[in-house]
Each structure stands twice: as structure tokens, then as C-alpha cells.
Structure 1
Amino acid sequence: MKDALQADCTRYAPGIEVISVRVTKPSIPESIRRNFEEMEGERTKVLIAIERQRVVEKEAETQKKVAISEAEKNAQVSMIQMEQKLMEKDSARRQEEIANEMYKAREKSLADAEYYRAMKEAEANKLRLTPQYLELKFIEAITNNSKIFFGNKVPNMVFDQRLLGNFFQDLNRNDNSKAASSKITDAM
């Protein structure tokens, strides 16, 4: 206290020197002392209430932060699960596309093979199913028939088939003559 008084005196009233400071305890009347103690008690209660309020606010803020962090965590988990489901669906879709492409390729291959077989069979039948061969098969079919019919129509049926065979022979001759004439025109 002496140092504080000397500093003020040096600044505002130069030349004054503080030698010593004596502090005495004042006598305070009882009513003022009681009022002062009550006021101090009230101030203490107010400070306690303010501190309690701060603690409650901090706890509420902490709970709010915890709730926000929990909500963010749940949102992130939900987003990750959603992305996982989307990836699974995308993977299943790709697998389905691959299976469809494989099925399509297999079916196309089978169709191409069937077409090739049918074309080769048609070529083979064209070479094999000559009028003579058909007539032979007709005769074999008639001879294998265990039922024999007698009457006016039977010779006509055989005769009609022989005419059909002759018709095929005529067609074959015409085809051969056309091929020969085309070869002659190509050679010219």
C-alpha cells in the first residue's frame, strides 16, 4: 500500500515522501455489519446460481453436441449402407447383363448352327433326291405295303407316279441344259 501511495504522490505531487502507512480496523455498527453479511450471502447465492446456470448450459450444449454427432454418425452409416445396396444392385444388374449377353450369344450360335445344318441338309437333299431316287422310294413304299388293292384305280396310281417321275426327269434335263447354255455364254 505504501508503494502505491508513493507512486501516486510522485506522479501528482512531486516532493512528498510517504514514510509509513498505518491501517486501523474500523468499528462497524452491528446493523451495517449484518446488512453487509446478508448482501455478501445474497451475492454468493447469485454467483452460485449463475455458476449453476452455466453448468446447466454447458451440459445442454454437450448433450446437443452429442446428439448432433450421433445424428451425423447415423446419417453417415445410412449413406454407407445405401451406397452398399446401390453397389449390390449395380453388381446384380451387371451380372444379369452378362448372363443375358451369354444367353444371346449361345442362342445366336445355336441358330447359326441350325441354319448351317438346314442349308447343308437342303444341299444334300438336292443332290440325293433325284427323280430316280424318288421313284425307287415310291416303289419300295408300294412293295412294303402289306395291303394290296385290286381294281381299276391301282394301275392309274402307279402310272401317275411314273408320270411324276418323268416330270422330275424333264425338270432335271431342263436344269442341265440351262446350266450348259450358261457355261457356253460365259465361255464366249
Structure 2
Amino acid sequence: MLPYVTRYEPIQVTLQTDEVKNIPCGTKGGVMIYLKKFEVVNRLRKEYVYETILNYGVKYDKTWVYDKIHHEINQFCSAHSLQEEYIDKSDQIDEIMKEAIQHDCTRYAPGIEIISVRVTKPSIPRTIARNYEQMEEERTKVPIATEMQKVVMKEAETLKKKAVTEAEKDAQVSMIYMNQKVNEKESIKRQQEIENEIFLAREKSLADANYHRVMKEAEAN
């Protein structure tokens, strides 16, 4: 290289993180939100350095990372509602953006490899944020109420089982008492029968003795 004649540019081929902040995002419903920070971890493969620089210059990442981020975010936001972006698909946006950026890089600039994408949760108007906070508060109350209901039902079930147990116990005691009374009456009845039998036997014995006495007297006469 000749000084002041030859110009060179250092090209990084290790992992690098490109960062874009405060990206405006207009939702399908017309609400304007902002993504505070968008980070793209990428790498330029050594074997594609010359081809990539030749086609897109040393600032290739401006075209395929920075500008691409704005484009993909606008595409995503305009096709989704605030509910989808802020709640439903907030955990999917990283992977969606990674695939979208990598798709065009693979097609037009294969030397650029997108390793990962990190997107912070969007900043939304305070009034709307408060609505979501109230929704979350109400949603939190549901499992608490459900658990309380389970506790009440469990207590009621316990009281019911206790009442059934007490009723069964009382019924068993009553049955035992009734059987005892029946046995006592049967015992008294049996005792009376035995006494009657003894009485009859005694009366019969007396009658027989009297009969024999009368017969003896008759024979003697």
C-alpha cells in the first residue's frame, strides 16, 4: 500500500451488536408506540467479506441491519393490533424479527448471519398502560378467588364429612341402645315365662299331690 494513495477500511468479522433505539411503531388500530431498544447480534462471514463490501459498501450493516429493522418493525406493527404486540405476541417478536431480517440477508447478502435479536417491550401511552394494569389486576384476582373458593369448598366438605360421621355415630349409638332395650325386654319376658312355668309346675305338683291324697282316702273309705 502507498501512503495517501491507497485507502483501506477495517472490516469486523467477529460477532457484533447493532443497536437501534426509540423506533416508532404504528399499530393496526392507529396507536403509536415506541420500541425503546432493538438489538441485533450479527456476524459477517470471512469468505463473503469481499463480495458483501463490493455490493453494499463498508456500511453494509446500515442497509441490512439498521434500515431493515425499521422496515420490518413497520411491517409487523401495521399488521398487528396493540393487544397482539404488547401482550399476545410479545414473547414471539424476537424470533419473528430474526427470521424476517435473516430471510432477506440470506437472499441478497448471504455473508451476513443474524445470530439473535432482542426487542424490549414497547412503550405505550400511560392511559392505555393503566388499562392493561387494571386488566392484569383483575386477572390476578381470579386465581385468588378460585383458591379461596376451593378452601371454602374444602371446609364445607370437611364439615359435611364431620356431620355425616357424627350422624353415623349417633345412629350407631341409638341402634346399640335400642338393641340393649330389646334385649332387656326379651330378658324380662323370658324371665316371666320361666316364672310362669315354675308356677304352673308347682301348681300341677300340688294338684297331683292333692289328687293322690283324695284317691288314697277314697280307697281307705
Query: How much has 1:34 moved relative to structure 2?
Result: 2.2
Q: Which residue of 2 aligns with 1:65?
A: 161
User: Residue by residue, what CA displacement relative to the aligned partner does 1:77-126 show, whole Å, maximum 9, x if unpaired?
Assistant: 111111111111111111111111111011101110111112112222x1
Between the aligned partners of 1:84 and 1:41, the Cα distance in structure 2 is 64
What residue identity is the alignment partner of 2:183?
A: M
Query: How much has 1:46 moved relative to structure 2?
Result: 2.3
Between the aligned partners of 2:199 and 2:162, the Cα distance in structure 1 is 55
Hey, which bits of structure 1, 4+ residues long, moved more than 3 A? Answer: none
Between the aligned partners of 2:121 and 2:192, the Cα distance in structure 1 is 99
After superposition, residues 15-164 of structure 1 pair within 5 angstroms as 20-29=115-124, 30-124=126-220, 126=221
Q: Which residue of 1 aligns with 2:46?
A: none
User: Residue by residue, what CA displacement relative to the aligned partner does 1:4-58 show, whole Å, maximum 9, x if unpaired?
Assistant: x7xxx9xxxxxx9x97332221232233332222111111122222222222122
Between the aligned partners of 1:87 and 1:123, the Cα distance in structure 2 is 53
Between the aligned partners of 1:20 and 1:71, the Cα distance in structure 2 is 71
Q: Which runs of 5+ in 2 are unaligned?
A: 1-90, 100-105, 107-112
Between the aligned partners of 1:43 and 1:26, the Cα distance in structure 2 is 20
TM-score, structure 1 normalization: 0.53
Q: Which runs of 5+ in 1 are unaligned?
A: 10-15, 127-188
Q: Which residue of 2 aligns with 1:178?
A: none
Between the aligned partners of 1:51 and 1:70, the Cα distance in structure 2 is 28
Larger of the two Rg values belongs to structure: 1
Higher relative contact order (CA 8 A, sep 6+): 2
Between the aligned partners of 1:51 and 1:35, the Cα distance in structure 2 is 25
Q: Alpha carbon RMSD of aligned pairs, Å?
A: 2.5
What residue identity is the alignment partner of 1:28?
A: S
Q: Which residue of 2 aligns with 1:146?
A: none
User: Residue by residue, what CA displacement relative to the aligned partner does 1:59-92 show, whole Å, maximum 9, x if unpaired?
Assistant: 1222122112211211111111111111111111
Between the aligned partners of 1:35 and 1:73, the Cα distance in structure 2 is 56
Query: Using a 3 Å threshold, how does the CA distance of structure 1 residues 83 and 19 change in structure 2: closer, same or farther?
Result: farther
> Which structure has more helix as a fraction of its residues?
1
Count of aligned positions: 112
Query: Using a 3 Å threshold, how does the CA distance of structure 1 residues 19 and 120 change in structure 2: closer, same or farther?
Result: farther
TM-score, structure 2 normalization: 0.45
Matched residue SS, 1:27: coil
